[in-house]
Amino acid sequence: MPQTSALLTVMIAAVRKTGRALARDFGEVENLQVSRKGPADFVTAADLKAEKTLFEELSRARAGYGFLMEERGEVQGTDKTHRFIIDPLDGTLNFMHGLPHFAISVALEREGELVAGVVYDVGKDELFWAEKGAGAYLNERRLRVAARTTLTDAVIATGLPFKGKEGHDLALAELGRVMDATAGVRRFGSAALDLAYVAAGRFDGFWERGLKPWDFAAGAVLVREAGGFAREVDGGDFMKSGAILAANERLIRLLQDAVRG
């Protein structure tokens, strides 16, 4: 593996340890699928256990850092300049249905700026990682965003609101416009991996509204360090609005125009 900083090494070690336990839990999901109760309660427990492991490992290595986590929310640290942003299981519905497309996502924010990110695809053992100024990698391979310059050739990823969330009509309208302008749209169920795939050149772009910082913080670092751009759909701050799009320098403007109509 290319040389990593001490901090990134800590993040990767915590993610890999958590991933080993999640992989074992995922192996139990198939049996639970046929039960009357189903796997929901089991998955919730796996999610909480994964977050606990990440919190304990990172707290031990970097005492005083703050945390923003999907399950526990915000945990203030004595060090007000650093904060880990954690999603212990991005792609919960996939996990619950035995689909091996889910990830652990950990980002580091320093003085309000995203500076490092790790996204670990547990099922495929693909570790995406990046640090500001050091590039983005998949395991040991350097990543670059795709070089396509027209939407007609591009494959774009997105997410759609699930039952009970607002924004269905807007999402469908945006989806229709992007479908008309591109070679295809994919909905895989993990924003963290969608962004990692943009960084790897597998997808040409990504957009979604209604996300939380832990859904995309690490992925945004990956895209930027792979030579791409991540911005807010309407021009604001995606860390506050939860509306993000990502692509290379040429496509991001075209994608933004297509999404907004």
Instruction: Give 183-213 pLDDT, tens digit per residue.
Output: 999 999 999 999 999 999 999 999 999 999 9
Q: Are 219 and 195 in contact (CB under 8 A)?
A: yes
Is the CB of residue 53 less than 8 Å from the CB of residue 18? yes
pLDDT at 163: 73
Provide the residue type at 241 as one letter: S
Least confident of 27-31, 97-101, 155-159, 185-189: 27-31
Dihedral of CA atoms 20, 22, 27, 30 in degrees, nearest 10, equals -170
In the chain, where the domains are located: 6-142, 151-260
CATH match for 151-260 among 3.30.70.260, 3.30.420.40, 3.40.190.80, 2.40.40.20: 3.40.190.80
Q: Which pLDDT does position 27 carry in this prediction? A: 86
Q: Write down the mean pLDDT value for the chain.
A: 93
pLDDT in tens, 100-118: 999 999 999 999 999 999 9
Tens of pLDDT, residues 31-86: 665 444 455 666 788 899 999 999 999 999 999 999 999 889 999 999 999 999 99
Return the structure tokens found at 13: 């070690």
pTM of the model: 0.94
Residue found by looking up tokens 């035995």 in the block:
98
The predicted pLDDT at position 37 comes to 46
Reported as a single tens digit per residue, the pLDDT across 107-153 is 999 999 999 999 999 999 999 999 999 999 999 999 999 999 999 99
The answer to whether domain 6-142 has CATH 3.30.540.10 is: yes
Contact 258, 181 (CB under 8 A): yes
